[in-house]
Amino acid sequence: MHSTSRKFQRRSYLFGISMAGLGSILFSGKAILVKLAFTQGANAETLIALRMLMALPLFWVIFWWSTRKKILSTLSLRDQLKIFALGFMGYFLSSYLDFLGLQYISVGLERIVLYLTPTLVLLISYFVLKKSISHLQWYALIVGYLGVIVVFIQDASSTGSMALIGMLLVFASACAYAMYMIGSGEMVKRVGSVRLVVYASSASALLSVIQILIYEPMAVFIQSSQIYWISLLNASLCTVIPMLLIMMAINRIGSPLVAQAGILGPVSTLFMGWAILSESITWTQISGMGLVMGAVWLLVRNDSTKSTANHPAPDPIRELN
């Protein structure tokens, strides 16, 4: 009996790790698809609008399925405004800055900078919320940012000052999402993760439509078939499907282990960039990536032994940005 139970637990653990790893890899494919779309002449504003418009119906199907037998509480106007603000900060602004940055830097550097989000949550908590940081966490922060500098030097050697612009835009994207993570901690407990994700992404979709209507009203209707296929893949294969995988993995093995499995994201991005976009892989990039992933792994491992009240668990759809 105990042997059967252990085998079941082991299979459940391995299945959870596999889902988390696959979800992380699929999420990372977003940057590859965006880069491919740029080569077809699309711009960041159009890509964000198409991605959100295509993903939104899928999100609402998931929401309907997960809540079909539940009675949902009514949200106050204050809660609705908070969710709208979270959607703007975490999904719209963060995504827009990320897409803009990808025009100037490699997908490897973009993924590594975004991977620093847990360190930004920690720093914001320290400077704004006056939370303490241990010596180990300070050392991890220093190592992580040294790793980003190493990879940045590699990009700057080929693209010059444009690499700095791109890195700053992506770093601003990570900052915006870190603020979303901190602000969404209480809301997740009250509203639920799926409901918050769907409502916030709906706000982001609305904002992206308003943006494209101001920027170029007909842009979403005049793209090539390649852009529409890329956007559909981005919305489904690199957004909604990995979100489901990550959420199922969290239910099976918990957020800390899922976050550690997310280490596959930067690694897979580097090799997909090499295989699909012909971006180079150097020992400098690998070394910098190793420093960043090691630093974040230490932070996640350290945080898993404490209460997550001060540092919210990773959002299942972090790669919406």
| Residue 68 pLDDT | 85
173: confidence class by pLDDT, cuts 50, 70, 90: very high
Q: Which residue has the tokens 């992404």?
A: 201
Among 239, 315, 321, residue whose Cα is nearest residue 57 = 239
Q: Mention every residue, 6+ apart, whose C-beta is less than 8 A from residue 307.
A: none
Mean pLDDT, residues 30-37: 96
Q: Which residue has the tokens 């489904």?
A: 236
In the predicted model, is pLDDT for residue 161 greater than 90? no
| Residue 216 pLDDT | 92
Joined together, the tokens standing for residue 267 give: 């690694």
- pTM comes to 0.88
Mean pLDDT, residues 61-66: 90
**Mean pLDDT for all residues in the chain:** 86
> Which range is least confidently modeled, 100-104, 171-175, 176-180, 181-185?
181-185
**How many CB atoms are closer than 10 A to CB 85?**
14
| Residue 305 pLDDT | 53
End-to-end CA distance of the chain: 46
